[in-house]
Amino acid sequence: MAGAPAVRVVRTVAAVRAARAELPGPVGLVPTMGALHEGHLSLLRRARGECRSLVASLFVNPAQFGPGEDFARYPRDEERDARLFAETGVDLLFAPGIEEIYPPGHATTVTVGGAEERPEGLARPGHFTGVATVVTALLSIVAPDRAYLGEKDAQQLAVVSRLVRDLALPVEVVACPTVRDPDGLALSSRNVYLSQEERRQALSLSAGLRAAEAAFAGGVRDASELRRIVSGRVSSQPLAVLDYVSLADGEMREEIEGEVRGEAVLSLAARVGGTRLIDNVRLRP
């Protein structure tokens, strides 16, 4: 779609509030850290189809990266992203500088109880507080009617849904399915870090989840067995180092021991070469 008009970019809280006030509702928000891929685009298209106005945000949030993580080298290409935002029909792009979100003296954080004790939270101390804080700020600044989030980041989706309920924020969270490459690899901005061989071995993540899904469909309900199917696949790849495999209830609040009785989320994180990847599937009896 060459020749889409340039997207309107605003960089300050005051400017986005003023522009948002002029937009006809319902207003959809798609928060991103940029380096857009088809996963992001699927959220944008869905929101475009369901809302009269579409706002996107582009902010690489330092607070959700731990020391030693990839904040400094996270892929950034605002020009390309702006073109894609324009092509998907974004009405307003909020792309603030860091000091706009974290002005001097910023001292307030949002912590969702329990999030730091679940596997992804344990693996990345402070990560979900960083996520919850920035999402709360974005929801307060943009005041969308709906916020579109990907199931790819399952615990993030659970944390945001929880905080919206607990704080009675006037927004509907819309969960969007994970977009994958045809061979199964879940799309991620971090996939660009993978060498060809690492990418090949990274397929064990989705293959392991699919194998467990098939076993579940075939009647396997034992949580340890389902976790073992996933870890077996990933561990067979020399460049893949498993961080965790988790099988939790549908809201990802507790690990399931014994038999799976209701809806469950099977998730994992693994380092493939130097790149940390996550993936998950939802199991529905």
Which residues bind to ligand AMP, rule: CB under 6 A? 32-33, 39-40, 42-43, 149-150, 152-153, 176, 178-179, 186-189
Specify the residue, 150 or 215, whose C-beta has the smaller distance to ligand AMP: 150
* Per-residue H/E/C for the chain: CCCCCCCCEECCHHHHHHHHHCCCCCEEEEEECCCCCHHHHHHHHHHHHHCCEEEEEECCCHHHCCCCCCCCCCCCCHHHHHHHHHHCCCCEEECCCHHHHCCCCCCCCCCCCCHHHCHHHHHCCCHHHHHHHHHHHHHHHHCCCEEEEECCCHHHHHHHHHHHHHCCCCCEEEEECCCECCCCCECCHHHHHCCHHHHHHHHHHHHHHHHHHHHHHCCCCEHHHHHHHHHHHHHCCCCEEEEEEEEEECCCCCECCCECCCCEEEEEEEEECCEEEEEEEEECC
3-state secondary structure of 166: helix
At closest approach, how far in Å is the CB of 280 from ligand AMP? Answer: 11
**Shortest CB 245 distance to ligand AMP, Å:** 19
Closest to ligand AMP by CB, 121 or 150: 150
Q: Which one of the listed residues 37, 40, 106, 127 is annotated catalytic?
A: 40
CB closer to ligand AMP, 187 vs 205: 187
Nearest to 25 by CA among 9, 58, 41, 47: 47
Overall size of the chain counted in residues? 285
Give the shortest CB-160-to-ligand AMP separation in angstroms.
8
Q: How far is the CB of 189 from ligand AMP (least distance, A)?
A: 5
Tokens of residue 235, six digits: 């561990």
40: annotated active-site residue: yes
For residue 248, what are its two tokens? 């939790």
Identity of the residue, 190 or 200, whose beta carbon is nearer to ligand AMP in the bound complex: 190
Nearer to ligand AMP, 53 or 189 (CB): 189
Q: Between 39 and 144, name the residue whose CB sits nearer to ligand AMP.
A: 39
Least distance in angstroms from the C-beta of 131 to ligand AMP: 9
Question: At a CB cut-off of 8 Å and minimum separation 6, what does 113 contact?
Answer: none
CB of 174 to ligand AMP, least distance (A): 10
Catalytic (active-site) positions: 40
